[in-house]
Amino acid sequence: MFSLPALSALLAATLSLELVAVNAHGPNGHHHAHRGLHKRQSDVVAAAAASSASTSGATTATVIVTASSAAATSVASTTSAAAAGAVSGTTSGVAPAGSAASTTSGAAAPAASSADIGTGVYDIPPLASITMGMPSGPLPSLTTTYTPGASPTYLSGAPPLPTKFVFSSADWPELDKIPPTDSDQVKEWMKELDGHDIPDITPTQDGSCAGDPAAAAQAQERGWWTCGGWTSGNDIVSCPDKMTWGVSFDDGPAPYSEKLLKYLDEKDLSATFFVVGSRVVSYPDILIAEYMAGHEIAVHTWSHHPLTAMSNEQIVAELGWTRHAIQQVLGVTPTTMRAPFGDIDNRVRAISNAMGLRPIIWTTGPGGPFDTNDWHVPAGTVTGEQQFEIFQNLLGNATIMDTGFIVLEHDLFEITVDLAVGYTLNAALTHNPPFKLESIGQCLSMPAGDLYVETNTNTSISSGQHSSSAAADGSADSNGSPHAFATSALASVLSVVAVLLVGLV
C-alpha cells in the first residue's frame, strides 16, 4: 500500500494532469475542469483516507499530513512521472486525550531544486513561477489538533466535537458523484420541501448558457444567475459596508488549506469556507481546524456539479449529504450554501431555502465579478502574473462602490492557496485606501450562532422560511454573472462590463 505522503504527492500530480487539456474559458470549460478534477482527486483521497485510518489514533481528531513533492515541472514530465515524484519524510504526534495540542512534523525538502520553489515562512514561490505544472512545495502539517468533546470558545451553546470521524464507504455516496436519490436518507430529506413552493422549472442541460440556449433565453423568468446575473431578494450578494471585503474560499478542505489557515491566524482574519461534502469526509481534521479557529463553514454540495442541471431529488441529495457530512464531523449544521459555479435559479433557491440553506454568491461590481480568477492558473489558461493583474484591475473599481463586496477564492489547489497567501490577500491588506477583511457572516453582522442550526435563534433561517420563489423579482442587480450576456439597450454600465467577461466560476 502506498504511504500517505506518497498518495499526497500522487494527488498533487493528478490534479495537474486533469487540467492539462481543459479549455477553462466559458461555462463548459470550467464545469469540465472541476468534474475531472474531483474524479481524479477522489481516487487518491479514498486511498489516503484508508491509509490514514489504519495508522492514526482512534481517540483524537488529528491529521497526518506531511511534506512531499510531485516533481513535475512541466505538463509532459507530469504525465510520465506523477507517482515517481513522491519524496517524503515524516514524524507525527498525537494530541493527548481531552486537550488541544501542538503537533510538529519534520519533512524532507522538495525533490526539485529550483529558484522557483517557494521560500519564507509560507513557502510562496515568486509570482512569475506560479503556473500550471510548477513544482509542488512541502505539504503543511496541522499545528493544532482537537479531541472529541472540545468546544469552540467563540460559539456560545455549540455542541462539543463528536467522536472522531472514521470514513466508511458503505455509509456514504461515491465520492464526487451525484448521489443516488433512492436512499432512505434522501427520501427523508425530501420531506423538508413539503409546504414550500418549489417552481416547476425544467433542469438545464449542463448548467451553462451555451449548452442550453433555450433555457438561457428564459434566464430572467428562471431567475438564472449563470445567464444574466439574476438574483433573489434572499440571496446574499455583497457586504453592506463600503470597503469591506467578504473573504471566502470554495472547494476544500484540502491538504494545502492548512497553509491558508496559518496565514489567516497570523493576520487575525476570518473567512467563510464553502466545503464540498466529498472533501469533508476525506479531510475531516482540516475541517475541524477551520471551524475551531473561528472560520465559518457553509455547504458547497457533495460532488461539485451544476445544480440547475439536476432534478429536485438530486439537488436535495447534494445538499443533504454535504450538510450531514459537516454535522458528523463538527456536530453543527450550516445554514448557508453556495452553488458550484454560482449556478443557481429560482428552483434551486427554493429547494435550498426549504432545507434551511440561504444562498451566497460573490459580488459583481463596476469592473466585473469579484472572482480572483485563481482557478484559471491550475487550469493553465493564465499565468499567476496574468491572474494577479486581472484582479488588481478589479480592485481599482471597489473604491467607487457604495457597498462592500464578497470575493471568490479557492483552497483546493496549492496554486490557489499560494496566490491567496502570497498575493491576493496581501493586496487587500496593503491597499490604499485600506479594505476591511471579514468573513461573510461578520460583514453582515450576523450573530455567529445563526450560521448553524444547533446554535441558531433566528427561526426564519433554521426553518427555511426564506422562500426564494417569493423573494425572486425577476431582475438582475449589480451582482451579475461573470459570463452574463446583457442584451437590453438600456443596460447599465455593469451589464456592459458583464458582456465582455467570459471567465466562469
Which residue numbers are catalytic? Answer: 250, 410
Contacts of 495 (CB under 8 A, 6+ apart): 229, 476, 480, 484, 486, 488
Taking a C-beta distance cutoff of 8 angstroms, is the pair 350, 196 a contact? yes
For β-strands 472-476 and 230-232, DSSP reports them as: antiparallel
Euclidean distance between CA atoms 499 and 119, whole angstroms:
40
Which three cell numbers mark 240?
453592506
Q: Is there a contact between 24 and 376 (Cβ–Cβ < 8 Å)?
A: yes
Which one-letter amino acid corresponds to residue 405? F
Task: Give whole-number Cα distances, 443 to 33, 367, 438, in Å.
Answer: 31, 21, 6
Q: Are 112 and 69 in contact (CB under 8 A)?
A: yes
The grid cell for 103 is 503537533
Contacts 24+ apart (CB under 8 A), 97-103: 97/59, 97/60, 97/147, 98/147, 98/149, 99/147, 99/150, 100/144, 100/145, 100/146, 100/147, 100/150, 100/292, 101/144, 101/145, 102/143, 102/144, 103/62, 103/141, 103/142, 103/143, 103/144, 103/145
CA distances for 269 relative to 226, 265, 455, angstroms: 30, 6, 22
Residue 376 and residue 413 in contact, taking contact as beta carbons nearer than 8 Å: no
Among residues 364, 372, 360, the alpha carbon closest in space to that of 421 is found at 372
Give the residue among 346, 352, 471, 480 at the shortest CA–CA distance from 405. Answer: 480
Nearest 5 degrees, angle CA 393-CA 15-CA 42? Answer: 125
Cβ contacts of 112 within 8 Å, gap of 6 or more: 69, 71, 73, 135
Give the separation between CA 448 and CA 454, rounded to whole angstroms: 11
Tell me, rounded to whole angstroms, the distance of Cα 155 from its chain centroid: 22
Distance CA 288, CA 330 (A): 6
H runs (alpha helix) in 334-424: 346-354, 376-379, 384-395, 414-419
